[in-house]
Amino acid sequence: MAYQDYYRILGVDRQATADEIKSAYRRLARKHHPDKGGSEEKFKELNEAYAVLSDPKKRGLYDQYGASGQIPPDAVRGGSVGINPEDLGQFSDFFRQFFGGGLGGFGGGLGDFSRIDLGNLGGMGRGSRVRVGGFGNAAGGSAVSAPVQAEFTLPLSKAFQGGRQTVRLAGQTVQLQIPPGVQSGAHFSGRSSSGSPIELTLRVQDEDGLHLEGEDVYSAVSIPVDVAVLGGAQPVKTLEGVVQVTVPPGSGPGRRLRLRGQGWPRPGGGRGDQIVELQVQIPDRITPEERRLYQALRDLRSRGRP
């Protein structure tokens, strides 16, 4: 049984912070993702390393006892590892011995390794597929040959931010940890709360006037006539809140402004842009003073014509 140096696999120091570990994992996962021509074995190795080092309890046990290859029986008290035997094949011999055999099969108290964190696969794009083993089925259960297939939706903001999401289907639930920046077409496979296999396809839904196309976000904003003519600051909604955008003088309807780096996360790092289309707002009601000024402007323009 070869020792697995999870820190070396992720290329981080043993004193690395949780954020440094996550950042290293996401960078390597994008590079070695099988959907992008990477090695499936390398990708599994990265997932295993992150599954251990991203959890404080698992990391602590690994740091203390990893070199010996076995956790002492009295190191963990109570609870259950909850590993689905069907899922053990996705882990290395070292993992199975250390977190399985070291606690007498599937006993112990490390949490549920069958619930591999989907946040491990940050930057998932269209067609990406993630396998999640054994939701609510730590005892193994009986195999079901035909998985349920369904689609679920997330609003743009939740797909951008990621986080834990509960999907309800026909009275059953699946808990997912959504990777930040996931896109429509991403696939998730795992088990429902009853232990049935399930395959889910994500559809990202437009929200608050923001529309996603590839890695760019599109929106429209209405500006008053004076801002269109004279230029000025205009609030614009983005994925991360409202920002002030400078509208150039003489901006007509349909003009597009590009907000660089305000779009969707890119698989290789960085973000796309937000494209803002200007719509000039013509007032349907004006005050007597505004009418006088518009009339004066029209007269001025008329006198200037040949």
Q: How many CA atoms lie within 13 A of 114 on its CB side?
A: 24
Containing H/E element for 296?
A: helix 288-303
What digits encode the pLDDT tens for the residues 176-230?
Answer: 888 889 888 888 877 777 777 778 888 999 999 999 999 999 999 999 999 999 9
Q: Which CATH number fits domain 121-205: 3.40.250.10, 2.60.40.1080, 3.30.70.2190, 2.60.260.20?
A: 2.60.260.20
Q: Do domains 121-205 and 211-288 have the same CATH topology?
A: yes
Domain limits, the chain: 1-113, 121-205, 211-288
Q: Which residues pair with 281 in a beta bridge?
A: 224
What digits encode the pLDDT tens for the residues 238-276?
Answer: 999 999 999 999 999 999 999 999 999 988 789 999 999
Q: Residue 258: helix, strand or coil by DSSP?
A: strand
Q: What span, in angstroms and rounded, lies between the C-alpha atoms of 90 and 116?
A: 11
Share of the chain above pLDDT 70, in %: 75
**Within 10 A of 135 (CB to CB), how many other CB atoms are there?**
24
Closest by CA position to 53, among listed 111, 10, 115: 10
Q: Residue 174: helix, strand or coil by DSSP?
A: strand
For residue 73, what pLDDT is reported?
60
Q: Domain 1-113: give its CATH code.
A: 1.10.287.110
Q: Which amino acid is at 56?
A: P
**158 burial via Cβ count (<10 Å: 0-12, 13-18, 19+):** middle
Do 159 and 204 form a contact (C-beta atoms < 8 A)?
Answer: yes
Planar angle of CA 160, 90, 61, nearest 5 degrees:
85
Counting every residue written for the chain, the total comes to: 306
What digits encode the pLDDT tens for the residues 62-93?
Answer: 888 787 777 766 655 544 444 444 455 567 88
For the entire predicted model, the pTM comes to 0.51
Asked: is 211-288 a CATH 1.10.3720.10 domain? The reply is no
pLDDT of 101 above 70: no
